[in-house]
Amino acid sequence: MSPNNNASNEYDRSTLVSPQILPSCESAASFSNLKVKIHAITTDTSGSFYPPTTSIVTSSKSTSIFNVLFPPISLLLWPSLLTVPLLLSGTSENGPTHYSKLFPTEWYDTPSAYAPKPLGLILGIVAVAVGQVFVILYHFIRIQFGTAQNVSIQRKGARNYDFWEGVRTQLCNPEGFGLLIFYLSGTWMGGIMPAAYYSFEGGIDYWKLTGCLVIQDFVQYVMHRLEHVVSPEVYKRSHEPHHRFTNPRLFDAFNGSPPDTILMILIPLYITAWTIPCNVWTYMAFGSMYANWLTLIHSEFPHVWDKAFRTLGLGTPGDHHVHHKFFKYNFGHLFMWSDMIFKTHRYPENFLKVFNKEV
């Protein structure tokens, strides 16, 4: 089928530059050391202009330092996504941040299947939230100070938007984190998760963490393809609202519809939970990695790790932009393995008229 993407026209035709926080005219004097670098401008058939890169830099020296330091420092984003489970379970039992030193035993010990204790649920939600803070901070820094890093995925340039509007959209969409919190609360407090998930014993099991990510992505791939091909009506009522973004930004990850979230995120989450039983720390590590990686692949700019990820078949913004632009390729999210197996994978370089070769 060929989904109708007319709803996306307003997003394509209003996109001008990457988001910036520009100085006002009144304070221009205090910003005399700033300059705006706008690279080659292209135009679409509607006559709208799309500068592929736009950035504000304080000086050539500070910019050079940033361009050298930012790529290696940005790699720290990945371990930061595991901050909460690592702090609470990754230290010695005598460590000051170990959960046994911070919380009374009765808050987590021997939970009843009929009356689960909420501590694990609360910590899991906090773990995802802390990960989101690091992702948003990372994106803010690169937009404010990045130059070489801010080559847009698509040749026509990144969409123009207010950064803090993007943050509000990301965090406050009811079909996004609101529905996820409702699901997590219901399955946890309802006692319908495998018993292992309520256990605080041990730390993060990285093999099970990897397994959860792989299973989640495979089931999500299946559900995603079904949404596209079962019928035009199913597509319209579920996934089409998310596809109005043919040139997505990082903050579009959870912007869609409740049926889409249920079909493509919540059902795979529940299947994954019953496929790989793990303890509470692995569960919250999985939740944070999954939610924040899903956010990162919607970025309007490539990441420093993308070339390595692509070599391993891991999902990148370039891969996901191919899906948003053409609808019929790259149905996977965290991994491209299912697309490679079922012949639905395409690289951005297969479409150099649409995507910058740097991605």
Tokens read off for 233: 């009506």
pLDDT for position 113: 58
Q: What is the DSSP letter of 279?
A: -
The tens-digit pLDDT sequence of the chain (359 residues) is: 444 444 334 344 333 344 443 334 344 333 333 333 333 333 333 333 344 444 444 456 667 778 888 889 999 999 999 999 999 998 788 889 999 999 999 898 865 656 789 999 999 999 999 999 999 999 999 988 876 568 899 999 999 999 999 999 999 999 999 999 999 999 999 999 999 999 999 999 999 999 999 999 999 999 999 999 999 999 999 999 999 999 999 999 999 999 999 999 999 999 999 999 999 999 999 999 999 999 999 999 999 999 999 999 999 999 999 999 999 999 999 999 999 999 999 999 999 999 998 88
Break the chain into its structural domains and give their ranges.
6-351
- Residue 36 pairs in a beta bridge with 56
pLDDT for position 147: 63
pLDDT for position 31: 34
pLDDT for position 158: 92
pLDDT for position 59: 54
According to DSSP, the β-strands at 54-57 and 49-50 are: unpaired
- Residue 38 pairs in a beta bridge with 54
Closest by Cα among 159, 290, 166, 162 to 216: 290
Q: Cα torsion for 347, 349, 351, 355, to the nearest 10°?
A: 100
pLDDT for position 67: 81
pTM, whole model, 2 decimals? 0.83
Question: Could you write out the DSSP letters of every residue in 8-71?
Answer: GHHHHHT--S----PPPSTTGGGGTT-EEEE---EE-TT--EE-S-EEEES-HHHHHHHHHHHH
